[in-house]
Amino acid sequence: MLERHGVDHAIYYGAKANKSCALVAAAVAAGAGVDVSSLAEFRDAVRAGATPDRICATGPAKSTAFLRALVEAGALIAVDSLEELDDIAALAPAGAGERAIRILLRYRPTSAERSRFGMERGALAVALERVAACDSVFRLEGFHFHLGGYDPETRVVALRELVPLIEIARMRGLDPRTIDIGGGLPVRYVEPELYEAHLTAQGPWHYRTGRVPRSFYPYGGRISAADWLERFLSATPMVGTTVAAFLRSRGLTLALEPGRSLVDQSAISLFRITRVKALGGDERVIFVEGSSFSACETWFASEFLVDPILVPGAASGVDEAARPVRAFVAGHSCLDEDVLTHRLIRFDREPRAGDLMIWANTAGYQMDLLENEFHRHPAPARLTATVGADGAFHFASDI
């Protein structure tokens, strides 16, 4: 899509989507850069073979150690605030010259005026003055913004707001060449018709809480990642000019930092059932080895709307008299809120201790975002599967 529109571009894999080092290595091997938000993620990127020119550091509160490592390596830094700009300047090597610190300035669009991230127009104008006055310390490579939600039009509006700031930067002798619009490219987990039918049919009786969550990730949205890019690049933020044409005419590179959309279909999460408890009628609660920290949508008052696959354990056998049951899934901690899904899932037969539950497509923010060792239970093992020359799967620890 980007090549079809003739747009120079740079793709950075958003490493925060998953803690897997193997996914970072796969991104680097595929020719992508890496978007890092911590010193640990930066080190993972370097170990995976990412060169400094292919690492972009985002996040609002970078530690001094993180900033120092970025400056010393020559990585690209998205500067979140005037205060962070001062912190970075203090780390500049004496007589920087050719080693000027590569930066993007993070803009806070008016649609995100209540956000704590980025700089509003006035602060960003001040940042431009400081950068222009210290051109031997900084090399302004462009601007960055990151918005919540999955609407390409909000990015179009943010780009339009940036245009005057691009011109101000160039009038001050700076040479911004990159516009980084962050992530937000949607993943389609199910067909839109199935998703819309599910949303229409569901009600409070489908949840053990008696409440339907107020929002969900757009699991079956009408717009795919490719559609998203097409709508963004074809939009006309300026009269008679599309985004793609504007970028080409100004010699600007479009940078994107997708996370979830780059790890689509790349992981599963597996839980062993430890106990099934009757709640009355056909309802059950399934306790698993693991916790909602490993499948964290419920901690954000939402739900992962992909049903798990039930795999019978060795002792399950075949029960000809099995009847369907509905069950929600809980973790093994003492917290009543430790629930993997409040949704009452229908099973054709009652699950049993020793059975396995497998959720598919969980790499993007679903499998390890909040993992910890609560109750001193060990953190879940993370394995990487590869296919050998013999056609068999081979597994290795991924830490």
Q: What share of the chain is helix, strand, coil (3-state, %, to 5)?
A: 30, 25, 45
211 close to 133: Cβ distance less than 8 angstroms:
no
Q: 8 vs 104, 218, 245, 359, CA distance in Å? A: 17, 29, 11, 37
CB atoms within 10 A of CB 21: 20
- Helices and strands counted in the chain (H then E): 9, 16
Length of the chain in residues, anyone? 399
Nearest Cα residue to 362 out of 333, 393, 391, 341: 341
Structure tokens at 304: 């992962």
Structure tokens at 234: 């074809």
Whether 334 is catalytic: yes
Provide the sign of the torsion angle of the four alpha carbons 282, 288, 293, 297, taken in this order: negative
Residues carrying an active site annotation: 334
